[in-house]
């Protein structure tokens, strides 16, 4: 049965706009060319790497700048807070500028933040981190929209590719940061990743040329997705998944050093492995969805496997390699199924934009506190933090069951031919 909420979108009148460019006056056509797909991959590569780059050199940053544990935790937590606070602004930005221009702007903002944040003390570092978080927020919200808009016929597959690219970006920085820092120092090693963000902006600009963009109708008041139970279940699922991922990203190296006796280099390698294995989980998710005929099964399964990872680290820390392999695959699969659900359950691209914003705003608000809570609780050891994380994972499994319903969310917008075009 279809889940619907709010008044019909046909009642909303689209704004009259002026059109320009070679594609003016035409409805948009799904673009699934190789260049456009590569551009989507490069956009996604830039949406995690700048955050994951901090963990391998966190000890160097703290020693150089004299940062306390709480301030150091902000380097991971501030971007997540930006995701929570800024996600609801993204639909308005995308409507005003167009989705493609918003994506290009986001990548340029990320590049600027990466390039500037290491060259100073604690304040520039934190300000630059906020700037990076603002840019990533736009990209986070718009990735499911781009997949729904441009690759709707291959939604599961392209969602998996874009999600695998998220984890690949984190994996690349996690793997290369330690050797780069040995050669260049941590400042230059963290700044060099601005090149990849600038390259992503250039390629997306190139692939979006000549494509008109339909301006979707402006709805009045709060979006109807806020009244959909399925949207709230999906937000809880997204929040518990993101909280688990960012808590592990922030604290896994320290956890392994304390509990398993690993050296700093070995803990950094374990962290890199965790990030790399997210690619496997993301790419395997469409296969799981196809075989089970529903995202509900993998959604619940990933929550239970997260719980198994945390319980395993707590009860058998000597088998840390097993838990890193398991958790790494699960973190990629969890975010992949969340994005699949956003794109699949939204009735059209306009609803996908609102649903993605709502899910990420609520989800990241829930998830942002977990890395900080884990850091605070870790002062007395890792038993309580791992127990809390296991409970959060069980909540993820329960919300995944509700979020994985086959019903759609929202009402379809007017046909594209009836909607004015803007570029």
| pLDDT tens, residue order, the chain (423 aa) | 444 444 444 444 344 333 333 333 344 444 447 888 899 999 999 998 888 888 778 878 888 888 877 777 778 778 888 888 888 888 888 888 888 899 999 999 999 999 998 988 888 889 999 999 999 999 988 888 888 788 877 877 888 888 888 888 888 887 888 889 889 998 999 999 999 999 999 999 988 876 555 444 444 444 678 888 888 999 999 999 999 998 898 888 889 989 988 887 788 788 888 988 888 888 888 888 888 878 889 999 999 999 999 999 999 999 999 999 999 999 989 988 998 888 888 777 778 778 888 898 899 888 888 888 888 888 888 999 999 999 999 999 999 999 988 777 866 555 443 333 222
Residue 119 CB neighbours (<10 A): 13
Q: Which residues of 368-404 are buried (b: 16+ CB within 10 A; e: fewer)?
A: bbbbbbbbebbeeebeebbebbbebbebbbebbebbb
pTM over 0.85: no
CB atoms within 10 A of CB 250: 25
pLDDT at 212: 52
Beta carbons of 252 and 31 less than 8 angstroms apart: no
Position 132 scores a pLDDT of 93
pLDDT value for 223: 61
Give the per-residue pLDDT at 11: 40
CB contact at 8 A, 248 and 274: yes
Q: Are 43 and 139 in contact (CB under 8 A)?
A: yes
Q: What are residue 409's phi and psi, to 5 degrees?
A: -120, 130
Distance CA 132, CA 130 (A): 5
pLDDT given at position 278: 86
Q: Which of 279, 370, 368 is nearest to 331 (CA)?
A: 279
Closest CA to 102 of 129, 74, 134, 130: 134
For 161, other C-beta atoms within 10 Å of its C-beta total 21
pLDDT at 202: 93
Q: What is the pLDDT of residue 411?
A: 65
Angle ∠(181,182,186) on CA atoms, nearest 5: 25
């Amino acid at each position: 049965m279809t889940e619907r909420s709010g008044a019909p979108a046909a009642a909303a009148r689209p704004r009259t706009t002026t059109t320009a460019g070679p594609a003016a006056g035409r409805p948009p056509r799904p673009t699934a060319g190789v260049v456009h797909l590569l551009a989507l991959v490069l956009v996604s590569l830039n949406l995690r790497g700048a955050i994951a780059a901090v963990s391998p050199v966190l000890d160097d940053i703290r020693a150089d700048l004299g940062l306390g544990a709480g301030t150091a935790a902000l380097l991971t937590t501030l971007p997540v807070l930006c995701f929570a606070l800024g996600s609801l602004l993204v639909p308005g930005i995308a409507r005003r500028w167009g989705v493609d221009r918003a994506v290009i702007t986001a990548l340029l903002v990320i590049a600027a933040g990466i390039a500037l944040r290491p060259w100073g003390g604690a304040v520039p570092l934190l300000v630059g981190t906020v700037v990076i978080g603002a840019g990533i927020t736009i990209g986070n919200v718009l990735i499911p929209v781009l997949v729904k808009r441009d690759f709707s016929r291959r939604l599961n597959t392209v969602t998996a590719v874009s999600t695998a690219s998220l984890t690949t970006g984190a994996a690349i920085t996690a793997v290369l940061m330690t050797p780069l820092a040995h050669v260049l120092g941590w400042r230059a090693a963290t700044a060099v990743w601005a090149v990849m963000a600038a390259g992503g902006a250039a390629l997306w600009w190139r692939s979006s040329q000549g494509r008109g963009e339909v301006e979707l109708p402006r709805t009045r008041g709060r979006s109807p997705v806020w009244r959909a139970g399925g949207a709230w279940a999906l937000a809880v699922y997204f929040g518990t998944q993101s909280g688990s991922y960012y808590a592990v990203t922030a604290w896994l190296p320290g956890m392994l050093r304390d509990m398993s006796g690993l050296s700093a280099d070995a803990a950094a390698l374990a962290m890199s492995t965790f990030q790399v294995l997210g690619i496997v989980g993301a790419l395997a998710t469409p296969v799981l969805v196809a075989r089970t005929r529903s995202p509900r099964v993998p959604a619940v399964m990933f929550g239970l496997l997260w719980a198994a990872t945390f319980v395993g680290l707590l009860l058998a820390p000597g088998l840390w390699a097993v838990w890193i392999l398991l958790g790494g695959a699960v973190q990629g699969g969890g975010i992949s199924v969340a994005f699949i659900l956003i794109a699949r359950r939204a009735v059209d691209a306009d609803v996908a934009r609102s649903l993605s914003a709502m899910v990420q705003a609520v989800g990241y608000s829930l998830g942002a506190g977990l890395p900080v809570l884990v850091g605070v609780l870790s002062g007395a050891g890792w038993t309580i933090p791992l127990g809390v994380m296991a409970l959060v994972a069980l909540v993820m499994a329960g919300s995944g069951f509700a979020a994985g319903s086959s019903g759609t969310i929202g009402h379809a917008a007017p046909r594209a031919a009836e909607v004015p075009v803007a570029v």
